[in-house]
Amino acid sequence: MLGFALALVIAFVPFPGGKAVAKSIDVFLSFPSFLITLALLFVYGTVGMANGMWTDVTGASEGPFHFLTTPWGVLLAEITYFTPFVMRPLLAAFSQLDTAQLEVASSLGARPARIVRTVILPEALPALAAGGSLVLVMCLNEFGIVLFTGAKDVTTLPMLVYGKAILESDYPAACAVAVVNIALSVGLYTLYRTVSRRVGA
């Protein structure tokens, strides 16, 4: 939803630097996920900027921000990192949208919300499916974000493989989980490639 909203703004709302923002998304996709996690730790970690400013202002012994080691911290990091992967196919789909349809709908009195719902969203559904399936594959295989946040209540399949193989030396169980991981990843990637061909992403 966030990726769809941001892509709408970049594609259809003129603002200074809009083209630069659109191009920077491709650069953002090349970043490793652990850099996002380190940035969040720098800002919201136990000794991060936000907690440091809080203790400096209030004189408290510690700051109020301790959510990065919880599932909420993992969720924030994954939303921050993976949202551009949804935006990329959406922007490709929006660039192929016939603007005459938007002009006709507007001239007939349709409000922006209705134009989005009845004109833009149907055209964007394949791109949403492409971006969603890609993000699902990447979240399914996420290791760095969970590892760097230190969240103890979050277990992805790669973390489960790591725990079984490295920490418990239970190699049969690790292999079984790895096979399931590979099967799910291949299936979701096939879905991603199928729908992405429809939007030319």
Outline where the chain has alpha helix (H).
2-12, 18-28, 33-44, 49-58, 71-95, 99-107, 112-115, 121-140, 144-149, 157-162, 171-199
How many structural domains are present in the chain?
1
pLDDT at 179: 92
pLDDT at 126: 83
Q: Is the pLDDT of residue 200 over 70?
A: no
> Which pLDDT tens digit goes with each residue over 107-148?
777 787 888 888 888 888 888 888 888 888 888 888 888 887
d(CA 154, CA 71): 6
Overall average pLDDT of the 94-99 stretch: 79
**Distance of alpha carbon 168 from the chain centroid:** 31
At which residue do the structure tokens 């490639």 appear? 193
Record the tokens describing residue 126, joined without a space. Answer: 């394949």
pTM for this entry: 0.75
Residue 116's CATH number:
1.10.3720.10
d(CA 91, CA 25): 10
The helix/strand/coil state of 117 is: helix
> Which pLDDT tens digit goes with each residue over 159-186?
888 888 888 888 899 999 999 989 988 8
Q: Compute how many other C-beta atoms are within 10 angstroms of the C-beta atom of residue 106.
A: 14
Give how far Cα 31 sits from Cα of 14, 28, 49, 84, 191, Å: 27, 6, 22, 11, 24
d(CA 87, CA 4): 6
Find the domain containing 188 and state its range: 2-199
pLDDT at 198: 63
Closest CA to 132 of 201, 54, 37: 201
**Side-chain half-sphere exposure of 110, counting CA atoms within 13 A:** 17
d(CA 87, CA 94): 10
> Which pLDDT tens digit goes with each residue over 23-65?
778 777 778 877 888 888 888 888 888 888 888 888 888 888 8
Outline where 13-70 has alpha helix (H).
18-28, 33-44, 49-58
d(CA 182, CA 194): 18
d(CA 50, CA 193): 41
Q: Is the pLDDT of residue 99 over 80?
A: no
